[in-house]
Amino acid sequence: MALAEFWWIGPAVVGAGTVGWLGLRGQRSAKARRLAYDASREALRTARQDATAARIAARVARAELARAQAERAAGRVSSAAVAAARRAVDVAQRELKAASAAVRARRAGLSADRAALGARPTDPAQLPLARLIAADDAVTARWMDYETDAAKLIAFPAMSDARVPETAAFLAEQRTARALRPASAAARITPAQFGAYRDAIARATHAFDAAEAEAWRRARGAGTAPAGPGPDTTTTSAWVISAQEIAQNLTQTVIARGAEALARATAPRQTADQAAPPAQAAPRKPAAYGEPGPSGASGASGASADSGEDASHSGAGPSTTPPPPTPPVWPVPSRSPRSPRC
């Protein structure tokens, strides 16, 4: 009778357990996706606290400098105390600038992690902790490539020498990252632990890049490095290349426009010089009938008169045809030479 009365308790308990398990699993998945975002929020909060502390320290240092200067004016302290206070102010200002830069960097990282929350990855390898462990393994694989390859081991001995400062710094950062590494990608860690592990991997990556560049530089000096660019070769960033291209195009445009303006300015003058006729002698006023003129003009006129007289004396009689009219001369010539005017 009891089983018949309370049979529904079993299915209800099973259903409640299933729903609770599914809810807990979804909550864990949400926390795993938000792990990077929560770590960035915690890092930003810490950076803001550090910036506030640096700002207070800078104010205190400036106040101490003012006090030291006042006491120096009163003759209570020496100039060394004022110099020490000024150095303290400089250190505090640098610390404040570094803290402000860290706040801006943390804010940018938080924005990137917030944007990444929009896409819900279905592959567990795309979760933040899994991607972070993969980045750690990638740095280790790059270092092991120099350790296991015999040719690289001979060509780049600095990558295995802990006496090189850059290599020693990388090994120290790698040990720190190994100590903060979780057991697996499915391990449950806090946002603070995730942030510390992420920062350790970032420092280890930068340290490895510096150690690799130093090893290549030493190998080039020894003549064991292969020909061609390597990690020690400085590469120009994309924005620098774009700025150089823009500046080059602008320079070419300015030169071309300057040449065009110069051509337009000199073209009318050259055209006028080419179209101007060559300098000639100024025209003279035609001589009157019977008046001696230049280059035998009177002789010509006299000849024409003599020919007319001969014609009259020959018996032809006076000519009834009037002489042809003289075409007008313009501009009126003058007896003294001058430049012609239009």
CA terminus-to-terminus distance, the chain: 137
In this prediction, what percent of the chain has a pLDDT beyond 70?
A: 68
Checking if the pLDDT of 163 tops 60, the result is yes
A 10 A CB-CB count for 36 gives: 25
What Å distances lie between residue 176 and 137, 179, 196, 199, 201, CA to CA? 14, 5, 10, 10, 9
Compute the distance between CA of residue 9 and CA of residue 17 in angstroms, rounded to an integer.
Answer: 12
State mean pLDDT over 4-22.
62
Q: What is the mean pLDDT of residues 18-31?
A: 56
* pLDDT digit string, tens, across residues 33-53: 888 899 999 999 999 999 999
Instruction: Using the predicted structure, report yes or no on whether residue 291 has a pLDDT greater than 50.
Output: no
- The half-sphere exposure of 296 on its side-chain side, counting CA atoms within 13 A, is 4
* Mean pLDDT score, 17-26: 51
Cα gap 342→337, rounded to integer Å: 16
pLDDT at 134: 94
- CB-based contacts of 191: which residues, under 8 Å, 6+ apart? 35, 38, 39, 41, 42
- Evaluate if residue 154 carries a pLDDT over 60: yes
Q: Is the peptide bond before 268 cis (omega within 30 degrees of 0)?
A: no
Q: Which of 110-119, 173-182, 192-201 has the least mean pLDDT?
A: 110-119
Mean pLDDT computed over 102-124: 85
Residue ranges covered by each domain of the chain: 11-116, 124-222
CA 310, distance to chain mean position in Å, is: 101
| Choice between 99 and 278, residue whose per-residue pLDDT is larger | 99
Is the model more confident about 233 or about 134?
134
Nearest CA-CA partner of 203 in 183, 176, 181? 176
Label residue 313 by pLDDT band (50, 70, 90).
very low
Nearest Cα neighbor of 203 from 185, 178, 235 is 178
Task: Evaluate if residue 214 carries a pLDDT over 80.
Answer: yes
pLDDT-derived band at 300 (thresholds 50, 70, 90) equals very low
User: Whole-number mean pLDDT of the chain?
Assistant: 78
For the chain, the C-alpha Rg in angstroms (whole number) is 50
Q: What percent of the chain has pLDDT over 90?
A: 45
15 pLDDT band, cuts 50/70/90, is low
